Amino acid sequence: MLALDKDGKPRGFGSRRHYCFSHPGYRSECARIVTALAERYGKNPHVAAWQTDNEYACHATTLSYSKAATEGFRNWLAQKYQSPDALNRAWGNVFWSMEYGDWGDIALPNLTVTEPSPAHVMDFRRFASNEVVTFNRLQTEIIRRHSAYPIAHNYMGAVTEFDHFATGADLDIASWDSYPLGFLSDRIPADPEHKRRFVRQGDPDFQAFHHDLYRAVGRGRWWIMEQQPGPVNWAPYNPDPLPGMARLWAWEAFAHGAEAVCYFRWRQAPFAQEQMHAGLLRPDSAPAQAFSEAEAVARELAVLPDVGTAPASVALIFDYASDWAWEIQPQGRSFSYFWLVFHIYKGLRRLGLNVDILPPDTADLAAYKLVLAPGLFTLSDTLMAALAAHDGTAILGPRTNSKTGNFAIPVPLPPNLPGLDAKVIRVESLPPDVPVPLAQGGALIHWREKLEGSATETEVAEDGWPALVSGGRLHYLAGWPDDQALARILQRACTAEGIETDPMPEGLRRRDTATHRFLFNYNAVAAEWGGVTIPAAGVHWSTIEG
């Protein structure tokens, strides 16, 4: 049942998450245990909800290169393609003479001399994601036979190894584990000055992004299952949160529609691997700093209950498969789908906007005046039809619709959007010290595409190549804009659609609910906005009139 890593070494026993999702015996034992739990507690009135497993994909455990995974992958391919000849055509295996004559010839895409076929890797990633989905479904189907209580799973931050939308389809609630200081230290690719400024507060947008993402995964229902209460034990550096941040993090979650904010942990354990992970109580059971802040939020919630969410005018499409695709073939060391989408999200938040994150198969965009779809590997027929029917502004690109589902460059050339006469004829990835300046200010960074066609040129690079082209209200962005260029592009789109913006100072963020406007100060000093002074790590709310 032990998973093997990419180098073929076993992920040994002695820690946690040492199983392979594909192992039949492990699944059988899980089914036995879940059945016993569900039979015993399924109707217990003290049970509020169920949680399946814990943090799928944590410690890079989604991808297993074991014998069980190899056999499962071959069976999955046989069901998908029906014949090795069909698979060979789909993968383009004539290149480098890699045709397969039998399913048993197909190995997992590791330990190869150089890079394996991207189509091979992409199918392996789809298979591995599906293994998580079916493993989770094994548990939910058993629980539902014995219990009517809702079921959740706790996802993580910037973890995309499996499709959370597909997993969430079998759950009632999406939850996630929010560690703002740990995440800033160990996974957010920010410059050193940004990390110094927010070292005790966390990035001003990272938590909000995941609140909105998991609100979508949970179809409106979401919780925080683990909120950081103090220093943790697992990041490169583990500072103490600024006083007030535990309160701010909780209120920001509620303003994004959370039903619950739970803390990990209640009491700091004095032993084993996580003994340095703080709790609401110290190891001697005395209250720690966050205890009084959680207490304060509870009192405030009693006065201001059910703040809810508010309709957004802006939608941002997020697709887990696109993250796999550009990890497989980034074409440049600094290109990342996740961080491209997060960059766009930050730009929207800096304008004071509410944002809804939507899955890539969204069929109806009528509620949104502005839709953004950066970096989508492929455009599904469903989303393409929704974009065609959309009567607002849509901004797609870069890299949107640039591959087929089998990881080939399509002809006609991308983006191949109806009503937009533009073709990507060449791409380049850009080193950090080689931006492409734009005529109106700012630059393209990380990635740039060269376009030909008759579409209207809205933004142009100083070298004469178009950077943003338009066909009516459909726009294609031919690169990764820096902060200055992104702010201009988003503001222009919002102005065209009559969307009110409220550009925010660094570290201050706004969130509107159905009844209240919240201001969150992620700075270590007080901030002034709209005649209001918000203290360091402070939260301010006011009633929305009308």
Q: Of the residues 161, 226, 252, 449, which is catalytic?
A: 226
pLDDT, tens digit, for every residue of 1-19? 999 999 999 999 999 999 9
Q: Mean per-residue pLDDT for 412-427?
A: 97
Q: Is 55 a catalytic residue?
A: yes
The confidence score (pLDDT) of residue 309 equals 79
pLDDT, tens digit, for every residue of 487-505? 999 999 999 999 999 999 9
Q: Is pLDDT above 80 for 307?
A: no
The confidence score (pLDDT) of residue 502 equals 96
Please, where are the H alpha helices in 267-358?
Answer: 289-303, 320-328, 337-350
pLDDT, tens digit, for every residue of 439-496? 999 999 999 999 999 999 999 999 999 999 999 999 999 999 999 999 999 999 999 9
Residue 310: Cβ within 10 Å count:
16
Q: Mean per-residue pLDDT for 296-308?
A: 87
Closest to 538 in 3D by CA, of 263, 247, 200, 224 = 247
pLDDT, tens digit, for every residue of 129-154? 999 999 999 999 999 999 999 999 99
Domain positions in the chain: 1-50+57-149, 314-497, 510-543
The domain 314-497: what is its CATH number?
Answer: 3.40.50.880
Q: Is-contact 47 41, C-beta < 8 A? A: yes
The confidence score (pLDDT) of residue 546 equals 59
The confidence score (pLDDT) of residue 306 equals 72
Q: Mean per-residue pLDDT for 51-78?
A: 97
Q: Mean per-residue pLDDT for 308-315?
A: 89
Residue 145's H or E segment, with its range, is: helix 118-146
Amino acid identity of 441? G
The confidence score (pLDDT) of residue 152 equals 98
Q: Mean per-residue pLDDT for 197-212?
A: 98
pLDDT, tens digit, for every residue of 373-393? 999 999 999 999 999 999 999
Q: Of the residues 55, 131, 252, 293, which is catalytic?
A: 55
Mean pLDDT for all residues in the chain: 97
The confidence score (pLDDT) of residue 310 equals 83
Give the span between the Cα atoms of 118 and 147, in whole angstroms: 43
Q: State the pLDDT confidence band at 311, using cuts at 50, 70 and 90.
A: confident
Q: Is 462 a catalytic residue?
A: no
The confidence score (pLDDT) of residue 304 equals 85
